[in-house]
Amino acid sequence: MNWRAKGILLALGVILADQLSKWVVVTQFLARMDNRGFGAWLVEKAGRAPFASEEINAFLNIVMVWNPGVSFGMLQTDSALVVYGLSAMAIIVAIGFMVWLWREPKPLRGWSIGLIVGGALGNVWDRLRFGAVVDFIDLHAGSWHWPAFNIADSAVSIGIILLLIETFFFAENRRYK
């Protein structure tokens, strides 16, 4: 199997891990929704669970947060136009990244793109089903809290960081050496 196919499998794995983690948190850990199995939860549209929070340790909480906007809660609205507009934009960007993946000769960039695409599509799946994205990881130091996030957000962030590292430190044609 070539590394491009592995990049696509990585994207699919991120989507699966993201959705599975959200299912565990929403239905099992916080027990705020019915106890549907993963397959049913994945495809059936349901109501949004209420806010909930469980302290794990001094710097990590598992929370139930619905983000109807984009990163860090910007553009928060329950407007169907925004929901479908953001979803369409994310799908178009993901398609563009997949074209880049297929043409990209470097494995690290390809894997980075796979992480970004998987994360973007994992959140699109939530947005289309619930009208908002499930965020559940709450990192904090004392009373300062990082905005809640999920596995998909982490994959996008890691993918972007790896892409930047590869571009600035490993590219043969760097302008500044």
Asked if 142 contacts 82 with a C-beta cutoff of 8 angstroms, the reply is no
Handedness of CA 32, 23, 46, 83 (dihedral sign): positive
Task: Report pLDDT digits (tens) over 142-153.
Answer: 888 888 999 999
Task: Report pLDDT digits (tens) over 80-98.
Answer: 777 888 889 999 999 999 9
- Cα–Cα separations (whole angstroms), residue 35 to 61, 94, 100, 155: 22, 32, 40, 27
Question: What positions carry a catalytic annotation?
Answer: 135, 153
- Residue 168: band (very low, low, confident or very high) from pLDDT cuts 50, 70, 90: confident
